[in-house]
Amino acid sequence: MVQGDIKTMSNKKTKTRQADLHVCAGVIHEPRPIDPLTFFTPREHAILAEYLSLKSLRPKEAIDPSLLHPVDPVQWDEAKHGVAVLDCEDFNHSTPGPLHNAVARICLTTISNLPFWASCHGNGQITYGRPPKDPSNGPARILLTEFIGGINWATSGPGISWPESYHITRIPHYETWVITASTDTPETTGFTDWAVHHVPGTRPIQEAAKEGLLVTWSDSAQEDQGVFESIQQTGLLPADEIAAVARLVWPGAKVSAVAKFIDLGVAKADDPIYTEGISIISIRRQPKPKEETTTPVVLPEDPEIQIQKEPQK
């Protein structure tokens, strides 16, 4: 956003309010109404309306149910025809699915800084966990997308981490926030990007982002997933606010952030996060009652390594 006097091409100064302008690629543009028929293709409208359960807002060109049928990713030209639901052989038939992936690809059209890894073989062949992306090859549009933050679920070996990053995107016409998750490999879901939650656009962006994290982490916890290892990056939300959301899902856990440990503790009834409009606090998990013991339990640094001491003579 730019505030103050703006020089036009005729060098004439015009005072313009900050809210009246938006900046795209460093160039100031006057706001213009969005034509839903040209901003999204009929197929993309069908995808968004299906995921958001807002079919009444889709244009008549997007009513055809065949628009949701998967297409061959090798044959489909996304730059020319827009985002489509892709036929995925590695899809594990659980949530998230191909529809969630298509929504995420719409949201992340111009975002290229996503989790990524590659390995080089002895013959010079390179294997990519996430194929390189050139945003210029995607649909010609720019959405309001903000980076929320990034975590590392675990470090399973030297240089082998399991990162996951989160973005929030405003979907025009449907006036909805969509929160997406991105990883550097499709091994777990068959996709590297998927939509995890959506929130009405009337909600403040920070609240919507927190609710998205709360939903996706709660889903993981339901599948017995433990707390993530560390907060790797911060964006829209600082580390302490990301940790506050994690505290609701994994009470008492600790995560590493900025070279220090954050004690998540247990969210109390007056925790500030409850006053910020999050509407699904009922899924908060209560800590398990501690067993009474007279001596503290000390775990080895590596639970897989059991140290046996020789009996004293």
What is the mean predicted confidence (pLDDT) over 262-281?
50
Lowest mean pLDDT among 80-84, 85-89, 121-125, 175-179: 121-125
60 pLDDT above the threshold of 60: yes
Give every CB contact of residue 190 below 8 A, 6+ residues apart in sequence.
Answer: 88, 90, 91, 92
Calpha distance 268→262 (Å, rounded): 17
* Better-scored residue on pLDDT, 23 or 33: 33
Does 158 score more than 70 pLDDT? no
Q: Find the mean pLDDT for residues 240-257.
A: 87
Q: Is the pLDDT of residue 52 over 90?
A: yes
CA proximity to 139, closest of 176, 174, 109, 165:
109
Do 37 and 20 touch, CB atoms closer than 8 A?
Answer: no
Q: How far apart are CA 176 and CA 208, in angstroms?
A: 10
Q: What pLDDT does residue 10 have? A: 32
Who wins on pLDDT, 26 or 89?
Answer: 89
Higher pLDDT, 163 or 288: 163
Hunting for tokens 């933050």 — which residue is that? 149
User: With 60 as the cut, is the pLDDT of residue 257 above it?
Assistant: yes
Backbone angles phi, psi at 254, to 5 degrees: -125, 140
Please tell me the least confidently modeled range out of 42-46, 273-277, 293-297.
293-297
**Separation of alpha carbons 231 and 262, rounded Å:** 10
- Return the higher-pLDDT residue of 198 and 77: 198
The sign of the dihedral angle between the CA atoms of 93, 99, 104, 106 is positive
Predicted TM-score (pTM) of the model is: 0.70
Sheet with 260-263, strands from edge to edge, namely 193-200, 176-183, 160-171, 144-157, 230-234, 254-257, 260-263
pLDDT at position 258: 53
CB atoms within 10 A of CB 245: 23
Average pLDDT over residues 213-224: 93
Predicted confidence (pLDDT) per residue in 166-207, tens digit: 999 999 999 999 999 999 888 877 889 999 999 999 999 999
Distance CA 282, CA 29 (A): 44
Distance CA 178, CA 156 (A): 30
Which tokens hold the place of 263? 């004690």
**Contact yes or no for 145/70 (Cβ under 8 A):** no
Instruction: Decide if pLDDT at 8 tops 50.
Output: no
Strand ranges in the chain using DSSP code E only, listed in sequence order? 4-7, 13-16, 22-24, 27-29, 118-120, 126-128, 144-157, 160-171, 176-183, 193-200, 230-234, 254-257, 260-263
CB-based contact 177:169 (threshold 8 Å): yes
Q: What pLDDT was estimated at residue 174?
A: 94
pLDDT band at 156 (very low <50, low <70, confident <90, very high): confident
